[in-house]
Copies of this chain bind each other. A is one copy, B any other.
C-alpha cells in the first residue's frame, strides 16, 4: 500500500464521530472528522485514497445535495451514507446517485467496516483507471495539432494514403507525423496506439 486510506467522517453528533474514529483507527484506517457538511466541503485536503462516511441528515445539508455538491466540485471519493431516520426512497436515491452503501443507525461495526472497505476498494480502482487515462491524455496533449489529427485518423483504421487525402497532404508527411505520434505516445505498435486513442476519445460518466 503506497498511501494509507483516509476516511472522512461527517456527522453532527460528536459521540458518533468519536465512535467511528476509534473504530476506523482500530483497523489501521486514517480518519478525519467534520461536524458539518460545509466543514468538509470547505476543507482542502490532499487527494488521498479513501472515502466519505456521512449522515444523510445534517443541520446544514442533506445527503443528496451533498452528493451533488461533490460531483460539482470534482471530488470523486466514494460515499457511504448513514442515517437514524431514513426512508426507503432516500436510500434508493442515494444509491442511484452512486453511494456505495446506506446504513441505518444503529449499525453493526462490521457492517460499517465492510461498507468502508468496499468504498476504499472502489476508490482505488477508479484511481488506477483515472491515472492511466490522464497519463495518456497528458501525453496526447504534447502532440502537435497535426500529429493529433493523424493519430486519430490512423487509429480509426485509415491507411496513410487515406489520411493524406483527408488532410490534403502527402503520404510522406503523414508517415512523419505518425512516427512522431508513436514516439511521443510511447507506443511500440499500432495496437498500442489504438488502445491509447480509446482512452483519449470517449466519455463514459
Q: List residues of A whose CB falls within 8 A of some B CB.
A: 86-89, 91-92, 95-96, 101-102, 104, 155-159, 188-192, 194-195
Contacts and interface: CB of A to CB of B under 8 A. Distances in A.
Contacts of A92: 91, 95, 101-102
B157 A188 contact: yes
A101 B89 CA distance: 9
A42 B163 CA distance: 56
How often does this chain occur in the complex, in copies?
Answer: 2
Contacts of A86: 88
Contacts of A89: 104
A157 B104 contact: no
Contacts of A96: 95, 101
The residue among A92, A101, A102, A156 with the most chain B CB atoms within 10 A of its own CB is A92
Nearest to A197: B191
Given A157-B189, A157-B191, 10 more contacts: A86-B88, A88-B91, A88-B104, A91-B91, A92-B95, A92-B101, A95-B96, A156-B191, A158-B189, A194-B194
Nearest to A86: B88
A100 to B, nearest CB: 9
B192 A157 contact: yes
Contacts of A104: 87-89
A148 to B, nearest CB: 17
A118 to B, nearest CB: 9
A189 B156 CA distance: 9
